[in-house]
Amino acid sequence: MDTIRSGQFPPSVTLLVERRYLGQAQPLGLARALAARGVHVETVTAEDVAATVSHRPQRVAPRDGRAAVVVPRGRSAALLAALRMREAASQRVLHSASMIESVVDKVGVASRLARAGIATPRTWLGHPARLAQRSDLTFPLMLKPIHGDNAHGLLVVENRAQLRSVPWAEQVALAQEFRRGDGHDLKVYVAGNDAWAVRRPSPVDPDGRRREETPAGHAVALTPALRELSDRCRALFGLSLFGIDCVLDERNRPLVVDVNEFPNYRGIDVGARVDADGVDDVLAQVVMGVGVSPRVPRPATPASVRRTS
């Protein structure tokens, strides 16, 4: 375990969290692992923030080469606003507000994946009634809100007539090929350079019904293809802690359907790991790495301005 050596000033980590995540596996596991390393952990609930923004923020200089780090868990307007305030004060953040927004925007995710050549199901954008006029659709289709969260608002349509008449409150939808499979998805969890794969029940049954709760699933082997996928998505989105939702095509190849920042890391078989104490410890190492400031040598004082006795 990478504990802080005697005499070092412990780094400080602020967990900026939406209230709905306070009791979840993350960030609770991360907080415990950081505390075990002597790190001062402060938890701030985004909805409870009350601060002044009309003054010039002052940056607090790090001591012993370590800076305070803000670790956000959530994507609400309250959290993103509070996170931007921290960024304006030049505080180090694990994920910036713009990084989080880049994966909340599902149209942007699908577009960036396509441009990067990462395999995804075929995807369209538009109001369902307008999409029904297209001749290139393949059914069934999964309709998604363009700013989706935790599988809310997902709807499967089986044919063009259903698509034409489906009630859709938003102006547009993201429509994606729905692959029934066996009712399971593949989740790739990434933390820094570490990655794990989990096979878990899909949030939507093969018959199109949405599950109220999704079991955690169980760990499976991280194939070279999944390892490459995690590396490419990390480079594409710039995230340190994230998850990749995949389905398999007819040739058992992963197709990316979503990318999410800082997941719960459910279903990983920690007992099978031999290179770390556990997932929480890996997360802590990633966060502490963000907080290490490079040591910049202080420039020498020119002889012409040195004090003389």
Whether the model pTM is above 0.75: yes
CA distance 15 to 52: 20
Give yes or no for a contact between 7 and 66, defined as CB atoms under 8 angstroms apart: no
Cα end-to-end span (Å), the chain: 50
Query: Quick count: other Cβ atoms within 10 Å of Cβ 59?
Result: 9
Share of the chain above pLDDT 70, in %: 83
User: Quick one: pLDDT at residue 232?
Assistant: 97
163: helix, coil or strand?
A: helix
The more confidently predicted of residues 306 and 28 is 28
**Domains of the chain with bracketed CATH:** 12-94+286-291 (3.40.50.20), 103-261 (3.30.470.20)
CA distance 139 to 128: 13
- Catalogue the E-assigned strands of the chain: 12-17, 40-45, 69-73, 92-93, 123-126, 141-144, 155-157, 173-177, 184-191, 194-201, 218-220, 241-248, 254-261
The encoded tokens of residue 64 equal 């012993």
Under the banding of pLDDT at 50, 70 and 90, the label for residue 301 is: very low
Tell me which amino acid residue 168 is: W
pLDDT tens column, 125-170: 999 999 999 999 999 999 999 987 777 888 999 999 999 999 999 9
User: Quick one: pLDDT at residue 51?
Assistant: 85
Can you tell me the mean pLDDT for 11-24? 95
Kindly state the greatest CA–CA separation across the chain.
Answer: 92
- pLDDT above 70 (res 57): no
CA distance 247 to 120: 9
Can you tell me the mean pLDDT for 199-203? 88
pLDDT tens column, 66-123: 668 999 999 999 999 999 999 998 899 999 999 999 999 999 999 999 999 999 999 9
Q: Which of 61, 62, 56, 45 is nearest to 85 (CA)?
A: 56
Q: Which of 120, 111, 170, 123 is nearest to 146 (CA)?
A: 170
SS3 of 17-43: the string is ECHHHCCCHHHHHHHHHHHHCCCEEEE
In DSSP terms, which residues pair with 184 in a beta bridge? 201
CA distance 34 to 261: 19
DSSP state of 295: P
- pLDDT above 50 (res 173): yes
